[in-house]
Homo-oligomer: A and B are copies of this chain.
């Protein structure tokens, strides 16, 4: 079978040659494991800090497979709860077949259509947005909620959850095209463009009374601008630092003075803390997807070999919505 390994650790923005597609022996399901035929691989920004040694787990070395979430069908299993053909999600790697502990897979509800949503708005990305806006910061009707990377996998859900709470959702994006998508598809009331001048001024114009909740996916100057516009008792969910993932040296962070002035509470969010709320999240969001009140956009890339490029492109901001790679196994 084929899998993608790390060729070298990326320097700056990852390039395709940081990865290598190699032949490998198809894994066997060991004791307590199931063998999956991969259907979908999730492409996530957190891989960049992971590869840089800035994540919760050590980075894979050169020659080692690239870690990632996959959606696949059970091929080999002696677990009666996971008969062959069962569609599951698992933390695994970028490979055509993966062997994973049976206790670590999540069965994909057949009602989830397309199933790949179980890697996106109904998966880890959705759970991230949900935990941020249902557990950590809970917008009230009338609140102004700002979301950065507003058209991305997490942001697109976050903005909608905010709106569904009765809040006014405004987004930060990096292009007019994304702004249009964010407003038209995801229901953002307005968007600022962080590549245009004076982001803080743009935010002031879009939210003259300030920001009640900021869901931050990017850090850096966008966070700095958002902090400068916080309303008193604002709640900031610090969720991602896309801005610095490619930086060789960690940049100096934002000024925290406005946090004090706003009596803001900043709470770090790591979605792993909320894994036991997965079913609860799905019970809430799935009907929303079904009735169209929660909309999902995917950036679908075809074929395992396209995964590195998809990942690099995502970090360049070229995608809209959740990037997923479709493998031939996918129905």
A170 nearest CB across to chain B (Å): 21
- Chain B positions within 8 Å of A262 at CB level: 268
Contacts A251-B252, A252-B251, A252-B252 given; indicate if A267 touches B257 (C-beta within 8 A).
no
Asked if A25 CB lies within 8 Å of chain B CBs, one says no
Bound-state CA distance A229–B172 (Å) is 31
- Chain B positions within 8 Å of A54 at CB level: 257
Residue among A255, A261, A269 with the most chain B CB within 10 A? A255
Asked if A273 CB lies within 8 Å of chain B CBs, one says yes
Asked if A81 CB lies within 8 Å of chain B CBs, one says no
Residue among A54, A250, A257 with the most chain B CB within 10 A? A257
User: Cβ of A219 and Cβ of B256 under 8 Å apart?
Assistant: yes
Q: Which residues of chain A in 244-279 are interfacial with respect to chain B, using CB atoms and an 8 Å cutoff?
A: 244, 250-257, 259-270, 273
Contact residue among B257, B259, B261 (Cβ-Cβ distance under 8 Å from A266): B259
Q: Which residues of chain A in 268-316 are interfacial with respect to chain B, using CB atoms and an 8 Å cutoff?
A: 268-270, 273
Bound-state CA distance A57–B262 (Å) is 14
Residue among A56, A244, A259 with the most chain B CB within 10 A? A259
A99 nearest CB across to chain B (Å): 29
Asked if A76 CB lies within 8 Å of chain B CBs, one says no
Bound-state CA distance A254–B259 (Å) is 13
- Chain B positions within 8 Å of A265 at CB level: 265-268
User: Cβ of B254 and Cβ of A239 under 8 Å apart?
Assistant: no
- Chain B positions within 8 Å of A257 at CB level: 54, 219, 241, 244, 250
Q: Which residues of chain A in 197-238 are interfacial with respect to chain B, using CB atoms and an 8 Å cutoff?
A: 219, 223-224, 238
User: Cβ of A255 and Cβ of B250 under 8 Å apart?
Assistant: yes
User: Cβ of A238 and Cβ of B253 under 8 Å apart?
Assistant: no
In the A-B complex, the 4 residue pairs with the closest CB atoms: A252-B252, A260-B268, A266-B266, A253-B255
Given pairs A263-B270, A265-B265, 9 additional interface contacts (CB within 8 A): A238-B260, A241-B260, A250-B255, A250-B257, A251-B255, A260-B268, A260-B270, A261-B268, A261-B270
